[in-house]
Chains A and B, each alone.
Chain A
Amino acid sequence: EAGVAQSPRYKIIEKRQSVAFWCNPISGHATLYWYQQILGQGPKLLIQFQNNGVVDDSQLPKDRFSAERLKGVDSTLKIQPAKLEDSAVYLCASSRAGGNYEQYFGPGTRLTVT
């Protein structure tokens, strides 16, 4: 089966600019996650979707980050305006259901904010 797809793979922007990331989960996976991985740290959850509904966005900085999952398939994560501390790898993952099923990660988008 095809894996989780993400684009772009790399992005460099200046602070205060906006950026958007796209994720296409594995076909049939109802649950989609966005994680932020800062260099040298473990991934940290930003938002979790079940189909097209938000399950958990408690750690999403909502003043600058937004995410949507229209039609319960693809998802986009947006940052506006970006700050230097947003430099990180943004990982998308999907799983078959919200239970304890394996999460499959995409290749990530490496964001550099200058």
Chain B
Amino acid sequence: GENVEQHPSTLSVQEGDSAVIKCTYSDSASNYFPWYKQELGKRPQLIIDIRSNVGEKKDQRIAVTLNKTAKHFSLHITETQPEDSAVYFCAASTDTGRRALTFGSGTRLQVQP
């Protein structure tokens, strides 16, 4: 089955700096890659997603890049703010057969004011 690895497990940045979180996946059939943000005690919330027919997607301060050949994708947050502090999860799925998400292990991002 699919396996998603995520790095780093913790990331501390100064407010205003950029943050990058990287994930690799194993199943070449995966074609949907969402990123979720989870604040302490809250539900995971989708912040951005990308499908395999595009290489990059941006939404204000957040961007995701996908390299299908290398089977890795990354989340980029620019101009970080204290409210960006949370755990971020990457995930992968296919649109055939089993379609549920396989999640990475999470990255705890701490933005220091």
Binding site for B on A (CB under 8 A): 31, 33, 40-45, 48, 55-56, 58, 91, 98-100, 102-103, 105-108
- A45 near B43: Cβ-Cβ < 8 Å: no
* One of B13-21, B63-71, B73-81, B99-107 contacting the partner: B99-107
* B interface residues, tally (CB under 8 Å): 26
Q: How far is the CA of A48 from the CA of B102 in the complex (A)?
A: 12
**CB-CB under 8 A for A99 and B44, given A42-B89, A42-B103, A42-B105:** no
Q: Which residue of B lies closest to A92 (CB)?
A: B43
B112 at the interface (CB under 8 A from A): no
Interface SS majority for chain A? loop
**Contact B100–A91 (Cβ < 8 Å):** no
A-B contact count (CB 8 A): 56
> Complex Cα distance A31/B91, Å?
18
Binding site for A on B (CB under 8 A): 1, 4, 6, 31-32, 34, 42-46, 49, 51, 89, 91, 93, 95, 98-106
Given contacts A42-B104, A42-B106, A91-B43, contact A100 B98 (CB under 8 A): no
- Give the residue of A31, A45, A100 whose beta carbon is less than 8 angstroms from that of B51: A100
